[in-house]
Amino acid sequence: MDGGNCSVVSEFVFLGLSNLWGIQLLLFLFSSVFYMASVMGNLLIVFSVTADSNLHSPMYFLLANLSFLDLGVCSVAAPKMIYDLFRKHKAISFGGCIAQIFFIHAIGGTEMVLLMAMAFDRYLAICRPLHYLTIMSPQVCVIIPATAWILGLIHSVVQVAFIVHLPFCGPNVLNSFYCDLPQLIKLACTETNGLEFMVTANSGLISVGSFLVLVASYIFILVTVWKHSSAGLSKALSTLSAHVTVVVLFFGPLIFFYTWPFPSSNLDKFLALFDAILTPFLNPVIYSLRNKEMKVAMWKLCYQLLGYRKMP
Ligand SMILES: *[C@@H]1O[C@H](CO)[C@@H](O)[C@H](O)[C@H]1NC(C)=O
């Protein structure tokens, strides 16, 4: 095989989620509703936090950054998936496929770092309240998202570097509705066991590792609170349960994709749909509905948008 005419694949074809008309219609309704709800919910959080000076604190800045990332998460794969649902030939160009992988990993990696920063923020606020504002200074609040983005980008560039030079010379059908590494690597016309191992090790270890760090840090916070006063425990529990829910929703499907050794494509696909559309929608719901200040800020913003000068 000479390298010159090896990379003949110029597009990949998705099998998509289903060929049955009824299911396609159901998926179309479900996905469009939740996609729009995700976009609006997260935009609302970003604008409320930016607009309301009561929310200019580290916790809310981090939350707004998380919502901004969620806008990205739900826009990488879902719009194309919705557009493709009723089409017979669901194709994506080689470049488009690499771009999806790049953004999925850049945004996903950044979000993991940000979730850890949010756990650290809660640790300081609950366990070291006197030092909170000195440690979470305005500079640190800018450094945290910047670091998250840099780490996310590095992770993503490394992942893409693994695959851009792979030869693709024939098979181009992906049993999925978006491009990601595990399935794409299997299509390369070369020995890929080593590479599959690298990908699982990289994405798998990073997701399992950060998940364990997060769970450990939340347990640590709870134990610290519990030792000091069991009265504080219920308050801490109610704050942290929102964070833990988001962490489990975010990492659960990821860990399954990258570490479960027996691929079952249908389960994979529906979990991916869940991760792409439902998780970004649930984040604003979980964080905001439980939070009085956030709700007030959202209503204020809505009234302002409707043209009132003050909340009636
Ligand atoms: C992200 O956080 C920084 C600093 O904490 C803040 O200035 C910025 O507005 C946040 N980004 C968004 C989109 O809210």
Instruction: Return the higher-pLDDT residue of 7 and 145.
Output: 145
What tens digit of pLDDT does each residue of 211-261 get? 898 888 888 888 888 887 777 777 777 777 877 888 888 888 888 777 766
pTM: 0.86
pLDDT confidence tier of residue 140, bands split at 50, 70 and 90:
very high
What tens digit of pLDDT does each residue of 41-50 get? 999 999 989 9
What residues does 12 pair with on adjacent strands? 92
Q: Report the 10 Å Cβ neighbour count for 2.
A: 5
pLDDT confidence tier of residue 265, bands split at 50, 70 and 90:
low
Whether 177 shows a pLDDT value over 60: the answer reads: yes
pLDDT confidence tier of residue 264, bands split at 50, 70 and 90:
low
Minimum mean pLDDT range among 3-7, 23-27, 98-102, 249-253: 3-7
pLDDT of residue 311: 58
Over residues 64-89, mean pLDDT = 90
Highest mean pLDDT among 111-125, 193-207, 237-251, 277-291: 111-125
Q: Which residues line ligand 1 (CB under 6 A)?
A: 46, 49-50, 61, 64-65, 68, 141-142, 145
What residues does 90 pair with on adjacent strands? 14
Closest atom of ligand 1 relative to the 68 alpha carbon? 13
Pocket test for ligand 1, best of 57, 61, 71, 144 (most atoms within 8 A of CB): 61
Closest residue by CA, ligand 1 atom 12: 65
- In the chain, the amino acid numbered 235 is K
Instruction: Return the higher-pLDDT residue of 144 and 183.
Output: 144
Whether 91 shows a pLDDT value over 60: the answer reads: yes
Mark 47-85 as b/e (b = at least 16 C-beta within 10 Å). Answer: bbbeebeebebbbbbbbbbbbbbbbbbbbbbbebbbebb
Instruction: Return the higher-pLDDT residue of 271 and 135.
Output: 135
Whether 107 shows a pLDDT value over 90: the answer reads: yes
pLDDT confidence tier of residue 104, bands split at 50, 70 and 90:
very high
> How far away, in angstroms, is 61 Cα from ligand 1 center?
5
Contacts 24+ apart (CB under 8 A), 253-258: 253/279, 254/108, 254/203, 254/207, 255/204, 255/207, 255/208, 255/211, 257/180, 257/182, 258/182, 258/199, 258/200, 258/203, 258/204, 258/207
pLDDT confidence tier of residue 263, bands split at 50, 70 and 90:
low
> How far away, in angstroms, is 146 Cα from ligand 1 center?
10
Minimum mean pLDDT range among 59-63, 114-118, 206-210: 206-210
Residues 6+ apart with CB under 8 A from 51: 297, 300, 301, 304
Closest atom of ligand 1 relative to the 64 alpha carbon? 14
Over residues 121-137, mean pLDDT = 88
> How far away, in angstroms, is 175 Cα from ligand 1 center?
37
pLDDT confidence tier of residue 150, bands split at 50, 70 and 90:
very high
> How far away, in angstroms, is 58 Cα from ligand 1 center?
9
Whether 189 shows a pLDDT value over 60: the answer reads: yes
